[in-house]
Amino acid sequence: MNVNGISVEVLRKNNKNMHLYVLPPLGKVRVSAPLKIADETIRLFVLTKLGWVKSKIREFENQPRQTIREYVSGESHYFWGNRYLLKVIENAKENGVSAQSGYLVLRLRKGSNSADRKTIFNEWYRKELKQKIPALIALWQKRLGVIANDWQVKNMRTKWGTCNVSKKRVWINLQLAKKPIECLEYIIVHELCHLIQKDHSAAFIALMDKHLPNWRVTQRTLNEFIIDAYDGAFEKSKIAA
């Protein structure tokens, strides 16, 4: 759907209300709408929010981004919210990454190429996340009185986290290893709360307010943190009207 020159993706779901999102990295506009609602009603809804939509698109266009990573010595990389310089050691005995006094050291076996470098880095991020997640999941399952049957880490372009309510499965974005640890906790709490309240209703917000009163501050931190260049491994956080 085109609204005043802005392309709007419409997703029809079994909801009672319409929800409007402007999504990173480029400010894609999406509306989640009830199944039987008329297109013209959706168009009018977007028009009433047009000023907000345009301001959010501008924010994403002006947001600072890292350049596409080449994984060479001297680059800046982030780990748990801290900036590190990369030091590459070639012809090492084994591939690996470690954090050492302001540096992330990338060790490469002979013959490794640029694709290998990214894979090695991402697997290291995955390992580090998987060391932090179990304790946080256990803590918040106990506090919320819920149980997730499974959790996994994957590199997502469009969400920081997601929850399959019917299967009680939580997915965590690999990119969260780059962000402050409180951002990981916030996403875990958010997704586990969906096991109690499926949608982002007032009841869901009340649940977040009760158990994680500072969640809005952490959400802003996550949204405002410098974002990666769009290289096929990008993350998003929904910004809802």
Single pTM value for the model: 0.73
Instruction: Determine the Cα–Cα distance for residues 170 and 148; give it in Å rounded to an integer.
Output: 7
* Same structural domain, 219 and 128: yes
10's enclosing H/E stretch is: strand 6-13
* Residue 88 domain-assigned (yes or no): no
* Residue 103 domain-assigned (yes or no): no
Helices within the chain (DSSP H only)? 39-48, 50-62, 114-144, 181-193, 202-211, 215-224
Task: Give the domain-ending residue among 62, 77, 108.
Answer: 62
Q: What do you get for the CA distance between the two ends of the chain, in Å?
A: 18
* Residue 203 domain-assigned (yes or no): yes
* Residue 17 domain-assigned (yes or no): yes
* Same structural domain, 121 and 56: no
Q: Determine the distance from the C-alpha atom of residue 105 to the mean position of all C-alpha atoms in its chain, rounded to a whole number.
A: 25
Task: Give the domain-ending residue among 62, 89, 109.
Answer: 62
* Same structural domain, 32 and 122: no
* Residue 98 domain-assigned (yes or no): no
* Same structural domain, 41 and 136: no
* Same structural domain, 126 and 210: yes
Instruction: Determine the Cα–Cα distance for residues 62 and 103; give it in Å rounded to an integer.
Output: 29
* Residue 95 domain-assigned (yes or no): no
CB 97 within 8 A of CB 104: yes
* Same structural domain, 121 and 58: no
| Residue whose tokens read 């199944």 | 35
* Residue 143 domain-assigned (yes or no): yes
| Residue whose tokens read 């990338």 | 106
Q: Give the CATH number of the domain where residue 157 resides.
A: 3.30.2010.10
* Same structural domain, 213 and 135: yes
pLDDT the model gives residue 238? 36
* Same structural domain, 58 and 121: no
pLDDT the model gives residue 240? 34
Structural domain range at position 38 = 2-62
Buried b (16+ CB within 10 A) or exposed e, 171-205: bbbbbbbbbbebbbbbbbbbbbbbbebeebeeebe
pLDDT by residue for the chain (241 residues), tens only, comes to 899 889 999 999 888 889 998 886 668 899 999 998 999 999 999 999 999 999 888 877 766 556 678 899 999 999 999 999 999 999 999 999 999 989 999 999 988 887 899 999 999 999 999 999 999 999 999 999 999 999 999 988 768 899 999 999 999 999 999 999 999 999 999 999 999 999 888 999 999 999 999 999 998 888 776 555 444 333 333 333 3
Specify the number of domains making up the chain. Answer: 2
Task: Give the domain-ending residue among 25, 40, 62.
Answer: 62
- 3-state class (DSSP) for residue 210: helix
Q: Which residues pair with 77 in a beta bridge?
A: 84
- Report residue 132 as tokens: 């932090």
* Same structural domain, 143 and 208: yes
* Same structural domain, 124 and 40: no
* Same structural domain, 140 and 215: yes
pLDDT the model gives residue 221? 85
* Same structural domain, 51 and 137: no
* Residue 235 domain-assigned (yes or no): no
What φ, ψ does residue 70 adopt, rounded to 5°?
-105, -10
